[in-house]
Amino acid sequence: MMFANTFLFKEIIPTLDDFKEFLTEYTTVDTTDIFNEYCFKFLFNRFCNSNVKYDTQDAFCRHFGISYENVFDQYKIRQDIIRKTYNLTDSDFVLARQVIINNSLNDNTPAPNPLDAPLEYISNQNASKETMSKIDGYIHALYKLTDNLLDEFLDEFKKHFITIYSIDIPVY
């Protein structure tokens, strides 16, 4: 005997193609963006057998769509930054600071953007490069690196689901 009248996520959005149709109807997110496939994979893995908190599929889709629209760009950018962090090299980990100071006593044509372009004629230059040991660089990176933030992403959608506990005793 079942007391709840609800739907499972996998009944509403069972495939990636259905997810793209959902995005077209309920969001303004670009359905051709490959990051949607990444998101759907983990949304489906986490919520496929979860009961939605709504009595109609349309109500669920409208509210789920708002949440997806709200966090999509943020997590896409965060994922890009995380991937760039993971692609750093050993030399990137140990370089702490690099400074170059130029002085010119010659006539120069004023640079259109003096903070971004060096002067043409340099009379004097000072440079310094500060590095840390590899172990310090790795330890620093170890505490700065983050996971893929998947749990945080999925937590944004928990509010749309409920847990239904079945009872194992007969009800007469």
Same domain, 97 and 135: yes
Q: Nearest CA to 143 among 101, 93, 105?
A: 93
14/84 same-domain check = yes
Statement to judge: residues 83 and 58 lie in one domain: yes
Q: Is residue 2 part of a domain?
A: no
CA distances from 160 to 39, 43, 99, 121, 144 (A): 16, 12, 51, 64, 32
The C-alpha R_g of the chain, in whole angstroms, comes to 27
pLDDT at 1: 37
pLDDT of residue 104: 65
Check residue 168 and give its pLDDT: 67
* Together in a domain, 22 and 80: yes
| 38 lies in some domain | yes
- Measure the CA–CA gap between 97 and 111, rounded to whole angstroms: 25
Mean pLDDT score of the chain = 84
Query: Cα–Cα distances in Å, from 171 out to 2, 99, 103, 167?
Result: 10, 77, 89, 9
Half-sphere exposure of 162 (CA within 13 A, CB side): 12
Identify whether residues 58 and 128 lie together within a single domain. no
Is 106 a member of any domain? yes
Q: Is residue 42 part of a domain?
A: yes
H or E element in which residue 153 lies: helix 150-155
pLDDT of amino acid 128: 72
Provide the pLDDT for residue 119.
63
Domain that holds residue 112: 90-143
Structural domains counted in the chain: 2
- Same domain? 29 vs 111: no
Please list the ranges in the chain whose pLDDT falls under 70: 1-5, 102-127, 164-172
Cβ distance 65 to 156 under 8 Å? no
Q: Is the pTM of this model over 0.75?
A: no
